[in-house]
């Protein structure tokens, strides 16, 4: 590792173990609004205070990382105890310099070398908060850069060019969507029920796999999307990975477009999705 790894601070604000769970994701936080001038040492001290109610596994900025709670234990960082037991929390410098981003990406790469390619999520996915601020638009970049640092040469080639905001879901839109959600990038919405075809008018058939309804296992991408929608209160169905009417309606509500549970050809919802993906990927 190229950063200084600091282990001299131990937060008492954690739960021993993970109730049998293993880390399944990484939650990105920021220290606070940068105009409040938070500092690395100040944040470490606050999260390590006696009788505190919050912590994280790591505090990171350009060139240095403090591990204040072991990843074997449950840090109190997401505002949702179930999420805490399954995730690793990283507190990041809100100034978000190039050096900050590079160190956070390297830390993610190091975590993944131990636990596999854990997906990234935002603190605000689980709690009403602005956290992680400007980092919210950098999760796709952090995911890709971490994979490059791990020697995954496919990470760079999987990065799509700027998407045409044309309202059609094609292979490049799917690839960008997968990248932002930190799911495998194969440009394919896999294992969808053929009964859902009439709802998918604006999806290129080259990027969606249909199977008989009884064989549909769903897509990792759509499960990630359903998770986000469920946390926002926009989807009440199962996390089945199927792009059905409830998921489509949730997406339409999320992007503020008419909610008719159909991806039309072209689709206003898809235009907003493409606009958001371009922004998140810095395209």
Provide the CATH number for the domain formed by 4-154 in this structure.
3.40.80.10
- Strand pairing of 87-92 and 14-15? unpaired
Q: Which residues pair with 88 in a beta bridge?
A: 26
* Residue in 223, 30, 253, 226 with CA at minimum distance from that of residue 124: 30
Task: Determine the Cα–Cα distance for residues 114 and 146; give it in Å rounded to an integer.
Answer: 13
Listed by start position, the domains of the chain span 4-154, 161-280
Task: Determine the Cα–Cα distance for residues 101 and 78; give it in Å rounded to an integer.
Answer: 21
Predicted confidence at residue 157, as pLDDT, reads 47
Q: Rounded to 5 degrees, what are φ and ψ at 267?
A: -120, 130
3-state secondary structure of 27: strand
Predicted confidence at residue 56, as pLDDT, reads 98
pLDDT truncated to tens, each residue of the chain (283 aa)? 789 999 999 999 999 999 888 898 899 999 999 999 999 999 999 999 999 999 999 999 999 999 999 999 999 999 888 889 989 999 999 999 999 999 999 999 999 999 998 888 889 888 889 999 999 888 888 998 999 999 875 554 444 578 999 999 999 999 999 888 778 788 999 999 999 999 999 999 999 999 999 999 999 999 999 998 998 899 999 999 999 999 999 999 999 999 999 999 999 999 999 999 988 777 7
Q: Rounded to 5 degrees, what are φ and ψ at 87?
A: -135, 165
Whole-prediction pTM:
0.63
189 touches 206 (CB < 8 A): no
Predicted confidence at residue 137, as pLDDT, reads 85
Predicted confidence at residue 125, as pLDDT, reads 81
Task: Determine the Cα–Cα distance for residues 239 and 87; give it in Å rounded to an integer.
Answer: 18
């Amino acid at each position: 590792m190229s950063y200084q790894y600091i282990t001299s601070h131990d937060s008492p604000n954690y739960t021993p173990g993970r109730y049998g769970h293993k880390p399944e994701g990484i939650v990105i936080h920021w220290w606070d609004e940068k105009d409040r001038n938070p500092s690395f040492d100040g944040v470490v001290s606050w999260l390590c205070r006696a009788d505190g109610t919050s912590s994280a596994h790591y505090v990171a900025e350009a060139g240095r990382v403090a591990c204040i709670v072991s990843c074997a234990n449950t840090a109190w960082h997401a505002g949702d105890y179930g999420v805490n037991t399954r995730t690793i929390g990283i507190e990041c410098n809100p100034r978000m310099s190039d050096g900050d981003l590079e160190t956070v990406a390297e830390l993610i790469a190091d975590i993944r070398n131990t636990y596999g390619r854990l997906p990234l999520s935002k603190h605000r996915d689980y709690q009403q908060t602005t956290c992680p601020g400007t980092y919210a638009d950098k999760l796709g970049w952090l995911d890709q850069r971490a994979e490059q640092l791990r020697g995954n040469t496919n990470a760079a080639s999987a990065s799509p060019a700027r998407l045409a905001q044309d309202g059609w879901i094609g292979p490049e839109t799917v690839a960008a969507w997968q990248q932002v959600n930190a799911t495998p990038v194969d440009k394919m919405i896999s294992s969808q029920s053929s009964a859902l075809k009439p709802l998918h008018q604006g999806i290129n058939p080259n990027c969606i796999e249909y199977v008989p309804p009884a064989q549909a296992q769903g897509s990792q991408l759509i499960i990630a999307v359903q998770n986000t929608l469920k946390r926002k209160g926009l989807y009440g169905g199962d996390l089945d990975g199927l792009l059905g009417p409830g998921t489509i309606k949730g997406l339409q509500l999320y992007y503020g477009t008419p909610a008719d549970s159909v991806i039309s050809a072209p689709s206003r919802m898809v235009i907003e999705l493409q606009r958001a993906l371009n922004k998140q990927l810095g395209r």
